[in-house]
Amino acid sequence: MRNSAIVLLISLLIVSPAVFGSQEKFDKGKLDDLLHKLDINKKAMFGMVISKNGKTVYENYIGFASVKDKLPITKLTKFRIGSITKIFTASIIFQLIEEGKIKLSSKLSGFFPKIVNAEKITISDLLSHRSGIHNITSDKDYPKYMTKKKSKKEMLAIITKCKPDFKPGEKFSYSNSNYLLLGYIIEKITGKPYREELKTRITDRIGLKNTYYGGKIDIRSNEAKSYMFELGEWKEGPETDMSIPHGAGAIVSTPKDLTVFITSLFSGKLISKDSLNQMKDIRDGYGRGLMIFPFNGRFAFGHDGGIDGFISNVAYFPNDKVAVSLISNGIHYNFNNILIGILSIYFNLPYKIPDLSAKEFKIETAELKKFEGKFTSKMLPLEITLKIKEGKLFAQATGQSEFQLTSFGETEFRFEAAGLTLKFSKDKNGKILYDSFILNQAGKDFLYKKQIVKK
């Protein structure tokens, strides 16, 4: 599952200028310092592990698994990993292919014939998000039922009633519905629950002791809650019922287990080399259960994840035999920039730790209200609405959840989780111009102007 509100305009691809470095020795103290500053400035809470040749070379944990209970995140803390689950699901499907129980060319109609275009949709289409099946998590009704338990029958009914977005195989479009169906197909073929197949085929096989199909979060079992940073503090996030994401995002794990898993996948302990090549067959940035991440002339295969307030990423650099995993249960800074910082330090690339100590600039509510309004841009199709809530300025883009903006001056507002800045300007007399702002993200500027309300 993915959290589009956190990403807003850009993806979580790890990008940076093409420069090579060596990772045989890296500045552990500098990496410690980066994480320490993220921690003390309440920018993030997470666990992370880097391994090389299957051996852990760095791990660190910051923040709380439960803020209320002051329960710190440790190497035993387990997190929801969201869409990283898709790598596990795809791996099991390829095991079943190797066993001759299914083919990439097998049709969805052999399992769920009532779904529109089922007779044309293949297992390969599902794995590569080229089925045209609508993504249920994009529907406006999804937030209304995501925290409630649903049966497989109910979830299938929801998917079945959706109109297709395009013809099967026509193009790529990320849809969690594909992997819900793949999870159900695993159960149909084996006659066993997904959670049992996960245990038998993957976790027991490679010794993952802290990876399993999740349930209701239990801090007594070292499971982390998730948080959003709002109004100056960590606010507990919603809790999706794990009957909803299933094979698309229901797994719980640790950073250490994820590095072991992806290293095992690439070293042939779970599927054959031919099957792995099928997973790595990238089109439009996605293979069959794997994404590709470019970084400084290198590349990694893996997946990102987002569910509730959890954000995660696992990546494997095959040429370096390096695996990196980061799982967060609370982010108040750009996740992509954190990954870039970690990888830059590890690969000994030029990197300056940013100043994270900037404090919020206080603006009175009466003054803040002047920034309210609906804004549009000729450069982007997203409308952005600014409005006051509990004395704070919130923004909401078309089709996305609202998010709090933090002021860092009279005219500058940031949403640091997405690396986004809104900056208003002043006239020559120093008067703030409230009718437009520049949105900056990923180094790009977009002009937004306030819509005139006709009376």
DSSP assignment of 298-349 = EEEEEEEEEETTEEEEEEEETTTTEEEEEEEEEESS-HHHHHHHHHHHHTT-
Q: Which residues pair with 228 in a beta bridge?
A: 235, 331
Residue pair 242/146 in contact by the 8 Å Cβ criterion: no
Q: Which residues pair with 447 in a beta bridge?
A: 438
CATH number of 365-450, picked from 3.30.1320.10, 2.40.128.50, 3.40.50.2020, 3.40.50.720: 2.40.128.50
Cα–chain center distance at 240: 15
Handedness of CA 405, 7, 14, 52 (dihedral sign): positive
* Neighbouring C-beta atoms of residue 272, cutoff 10 Å: 13
Which of 396, 45, 395, 389 is CA-nearest to residue 227?
45
Residue pair 63/70 in contact by the 8 Å Cβ criterion: no
Tell me the CA distances in angstroms from 35 to 44, 48, 59, 251, one per residue in order: 9, 10, 11, 26
Phi then psi for residue 88, to 5 deg, are -65, -45
Q: State the DSSP string of 164-195.
A: PSS-TTS-----HHHHHHHHHHHHHHHSS-HH
Q: How far apart are CA 35 and CA 33, in angstroms?
A: 5
Q: How far apart are CA 49 and CA 290, in angstroms?
A: 20
Q: Tokens 């503090």 — which residue? A: 233
Residue pair 8/400 in contact by the 8 Å Cβ criterion: yes
Tell me the CA distances in angstroms from 380 to 5, 118, 252, 295, 444, one per residue in order: 16, 35, 36, 27, 12
In terms of Cβ atoms closer than 10 Å to its own Cβ (0-12, 13-18, 19+), residue 137 is: buried
Q: What local confidence, expressed as pLDDT, does residue 304 receive? A: 97
- The helices-and-strands tally (H runs, E runs) of the chain is 13, 22
Q: What local confidence, expressed as pLDDT, does residue 24 receive? A: 63
Q: Angle of helix 176-190 relative to helix 152-161, nearest 10 degrees?
A: 130
Could you tell me which residues come within 8 angstroms of residue 430 by beta carbon, excluding any fewer than 6 positions away?
none
* CATH no., domain 4-346: 3.40.710.10
Could you tell me which residues come within 8 angstroms of residue 27 by beta carbon, excluding any fewer than 6 positions away?
345, 348
Q: What local confidence, expressed as pLDDT, does residue 54 receive? A: 96
Which of 310, 361, 302 is CA-nearest to residue 91?
302
Q: What local confidence, expressed as pLDDT, does residue 13 receive? A: 39
Q: What local confidence, expressed as pLDDT, does residue 1 receive? A: 65
Q: What local confidence, expressed as pLDDT, does residue 11 receive? A: 38
* One-letter amino acid of 433: L
Could you tell me which residues come within 8 angstroms of residue 204 by beta carbon, excluding any fewer than 6 positions away?
none
Which of 395, 401, 390 is CA-nearest to residue 371?
395
Report the chain (455 residues): mean pLDDT per 10 consecutive residues.
42 38 78 97 97 97 97 98 98 98 98 98 98 95 95 97 96 97 98 98 98 97 95 92 98 98 98 98 96 94 97 97 98 93 96 88 93 95 93 88 89 88 95 96 90 72
Domains of the chain, residue spans: 4-346, 365-450
